[in-house]
């Protein structure tokens, strides 16, 4: 079930990515970098459609990845790259578009960034990628000492800036805006998927609260004895982490068991261990 869920999430990410690219990025000339941006630019200056260009570029990069990276170029990346490219091409055949869906380019840029950001985040969260420039990054990392982040940012900037010349000033400005927004949105979406809550509870009801965390929430809990310097009372400090959806239940239960408990709750997106992320 866990593998099936990951597979479905990965496929949903590819679908959202394709929808954002085909219905919002390509018609407006939003070339925000990557294979999608290059395909959008090349389609404007050649008779080949954007979807077909994206397919050609992704397949070419996958072949290059196999040559230079071998098995490091994972099967999930191959699948996502081909699936995403295929959906984009099929959308071209089923829903031909000759102009944007509306006369509100800023609104369409927002939808383009949201759909592609959520799609990319879902794919990344499944330990995969949509291929494209990620493969170039892996090759550069293997054979050079180039700063990968900066190198890809420069390439994406060149692609976005070319929209000024291939399309128009408006498309170029929106492409640059989308390029800068993309990184923040993707990171924000990925972090929101993994948000967990870290509880520090100072209580005199150690056994009841610990039993609830272990038996009902199925999470571990650590305990240590503490003494309050103001009251000089000896109490127990409990440490535990839980999913965001479980945090409200745990907080309510703690206050129900011990109305005088002192609770500190912080947010974390990097909890690694049993019951959470494995890597």
- pLDDT tens for 25-36 read 888 888 877 788
- Domain stop point among 193, 219, 248: 193
User: Do 96 and 54 share a structural domain?
Assistant: yes
pTM listed for this prediction? 0.68
Confirm if 152 and 136 have CB atoms less than 8 A apart.
yes
Q: Is the pLDDT of residue 205 over 70?
A: yes
**217-236 tens-digit pLDDT:** 888 899 999 998 888 889 99
Pairing of strands 196-203, 234-243: antiparallel
Q: Which of 79, 114, 82, 85 is nearest to 22 (CA)?
A: 85
- Domain stop point among 157, 174, 193: 193
Please indicate whether residue 191 or residue 248 has the higher confidence score (pLDDT): 248
Give the bridge partners for 200, in sequence order. Answer: 239, 264
Give residue 118's pLDDT.
85
- Domain stop point among 193, 222, 248: 193
Domain count, the chain: 2
Give residue 196's pLDDT.
86
User: Do 174 and 89 share a structural domain?
Assistant: yes
For residue 17, give its domain range: 2-193
């Amino acid at each position: 079930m866990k593998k099936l869920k990951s597979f479905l999430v990965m496929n949903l990410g590819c679908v959202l990515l394709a929808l954002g690219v085909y219905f919002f990025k390509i018609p407006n000339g939003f070339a925000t970098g990557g294979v999608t941006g290059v395909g959008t630019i090349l389609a404007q200056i050649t008779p080949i459609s954007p979807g077909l260009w994206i397919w050609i570029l992704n397949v070419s990069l996958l072949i290059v990845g196999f040559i230079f990276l071998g098995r490091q170029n994972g099967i999930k990346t191959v699948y996502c790259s081909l699936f995403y490219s295929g959906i984009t091409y099929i959308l071209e055949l089923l829903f031909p578009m000759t102009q944007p869906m509306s006369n509100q380019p800023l609104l369409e840029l927002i939808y383009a960034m949201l759909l592609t950001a959520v799609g990319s985040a879902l794919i990344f969260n499944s330990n995969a990628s949509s291929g494209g420039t990620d493969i170039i990054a892996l090759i550069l990392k293997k054979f050079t000492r180039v700063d990968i982040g900066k190198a890809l940012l420069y390439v994406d900037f060149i692609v976005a800036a070319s929209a000024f010349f291939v399309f128009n000033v408006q498309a170029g400005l929106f492409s640059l805006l989308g390029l800068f927004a993309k990184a923040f949105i993707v990171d924000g979406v990925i972090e929101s998927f993994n948000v967990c809550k870290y509880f520090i509870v100072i209580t005199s009801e150690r056994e009841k609260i610990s039993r609830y965390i272990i038996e009902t929430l199925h999470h571990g809990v650590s305990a240590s004895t503490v003494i309050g310097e103001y009251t000089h009372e000896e109490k127990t400090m409990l440490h535990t982490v839980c999913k965001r959806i479980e945090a409200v239940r745990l907080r309510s239960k703690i206050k129900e068991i011990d109305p005088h408990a002192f609770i500190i709750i912080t947010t974390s997106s990097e909890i690694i261990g049993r019951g959470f992320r494995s890597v």
